[in-house]
Chains A and B, each alone.
Chain A
Amino acid sequence: MSENIQIPTMAELAAKGEKPEVLFWVGCAGSYDDRYKSVTRAFVKILNKVGITFAVLGEEETCTGDPARRAGNEFLFQMQAMANIQVLDGYEIKKIVTACPHCFNTLKNEYPDLGGNYDVVHHSQFLQELINTGKVTLKGGGEFKGRKITYHDSCFLGRANNVYEAPRKVLEALDAVLVEMKRCKTKGLCCGAGGAQMFKDAENGKKEINIERTEEALETGANTIAVACPFCMTMMSDGVKNKEKEGAVKVQDLAELIAEAEGLNG
Chain B
Amino acid sequence: MIAQLAFVAVLGFFGYLLSRRILRIKKNIQLGKPQTIKDNPSERWKTMLLVAFGQKKMFKRILPAFFHFLIYIGFILINIEVLEIILDGLLGTHRLFAPFLGSFYTVLISFFEILAVLVIVACVVFLLRRNVAKVDRFHKIEMKGWPTLDGNLILVIETVLMIAILSMNAADQVLQDRGADHYTQTGEFLISGMMKPLFANIAYGGLVALERAAWWFHIVGIFAFAVYVTYSKHLHIFLAFPNTFYSRLEAKGKMNNMQEITNEVKIMLGMSTGEDAGAPPEGMKFGAKDINDLSWKNLMEAYSCTECGRCTSECPANLTGKKLSPRKIMMDTRDRLEDVGLDLQKGGKGLEDGKSLLDDYISREEINACTNCNACVEACPVNISPLEIILQLRRYVAMEESAAPQSWNMMFQNVETNFAPWKFAPSDRFKWADELKEK
Interface residues of A (CB under 8 A from B): 2-3, 5, 7, 9, 26, 28, 30-32, 37, 40-41, 44-45, 56, 58-59, 61-63, 65, 67-76, 78-80, 82-83, 105, 108-110, 113-114, 155-156, 159-162, 186-187, 189-190, 192-209, 212-213
Contacts and interface: CB of A to CB of B under 8 A. Distances in A.
Interface residues of B, number: 71
Contact of A72 (B252, B287, B421, B439): B287
B200 interface: no
B420 A82 contact: no
Interface stretch (B168-176, B314-322, B343-351): B314-322
Contacts of A194: 371-373
Given A37-B432, A67-B415, A72-B404, A203 B368 contact: yes
- Ranked 3 nearest A-B pairs via Cβ: A160-B253, A72-B398, A206-B321
A2 B375 contact: no
A72 B391 contact: yes
A28 B394 CA distance: 23
A141 B202 CA distance: 83
A31 B419 CA distance: 12
A81 to B, nearest CB: 9
Nearest to A61: B429
Most chain B Cβ neighbours within 10 Å, of A32, A37, A72, A207: A72
Given A82-B269, A155-B374, A58 B399 contact: no
9 contacts: A32-B422, A74-B261, A78-B258, A110-B255, A159-B375, A186-B378, A187-B314, A199-B411, A204-B365
B254 A105 contact: yes
Interface in B401-421: 404-405, 407-408, 410-412, 415-416, 419-421
Nearest to A45: B436
B265 A78 contact: yes
A205 B321 contact: yes
A42 B245 CA distance: 45
Contacts of A208: 320
Interface of B: 250-255, 257-258, 261-262, 264-266, 268-269, 271, 286-287, 314, 316-317, 319-324, 365, 368-375, 377-378, 391, 394-399, 404-405, 407-408, 410-412, 415-416, 419-422, 424, 426-433, 435-437, 439
B421 A67 contact: yes
B194 to A, nearest CB: 44
Given A80-B415, A113-B257, 10 more contacts: A3-B439, A67-B411, A70-B391, A71-B404, A75-B286, A82-B265, A110-B255, A192-B371, A195-B372, A199-B408
B320 A206 contact: yes
A155 B375 contact: yes
B257 A32 contact: no
B307 to A, nearest CB: 21
A9 B432 CA distance: 13
Contacts of B371: 155, 190, 192-195, 197, 209
A207 B391 contact: no
B426 A62 contact: yes
A202 B432 contact: no
A199 B374 contact: no
A154 B56 CA distance: 24
A71 B420 contact: no
A69 B369 CA distance: 15
B319 A212 contact: yes
Given A59-B426, A71-B398, A189-B316, A160 B286 contact: no
Nearest to B364: A203
A75 B411 contact: no
Most chain B Cβ neighbours within 10 Å, of A40, A44, A59, A190: A190
Given A41-B436, A62-B426, A71-B394, A76 B374 contact: no
B377 A40 contact: no
Contacts of A70: 255, 372, 391, 394
Contacts of A200: 368, 405, 407-408, 411
Given A74-B261, A110-B257, A200-B405, A58 B374 contact: no
A40 B434 CA distance: 12
Contact of A212 (B258, B286, B320): B320
A160 B415 contact: no
B436 A5 contact: yes
Contacts of B265: 75, 78-79, 82
B437 A5 contact: yes
Nearest to B271: A82
A209 B391 contact: no
A98 to B, nearest CB: 14
Nearest to B251: A109
Contact of B435 (A28, A41, A83, A114): A41
A5 B437 CA distance: 7
A61 B428 CA distance: 11
Contact of B257 (A59, A80, A105, A114): A114
Given A37-B432, A110-B257, A159-B377, A76 B369 contact: no
Contacts of A56: 430, 433
Given A32-B428, A109-B253, A207-B321, A159 B373 contact: yes
A60 B407 CA distance: 26
Nearest to A189: B316
Given A190-B316, A200-B408, A58 B415 contact: no
Contact of B432 (A2, A41, A67, A110): A41
Most chain A Cβ neighbours within 10 Å, of B320, B377, B420: B320
A75 B374 contact: no
Nearest to A266: B439
B258 A74 contact: yes
Nearest to B408: A71
Given A73-B398, A74-B395, A114-B257, A59 B430 contact: yes
Contacts of A78: 258, 261-262, 265
A156 B254 CA distance: 10
Most chain A Cβ neighbours within 10 Å, of B268, B372, B391, B404: B372
Contacts of B271: 82
B399 A73 contact: yes
A68 B411 contact: yes
A32 B431 CA distance: 8
Given A72-B394, A72-B404, A161-B253, A31 B420 contact: yes
Most chain A Cβ neighbours within 10 Å, of B261, B408, B427: B408
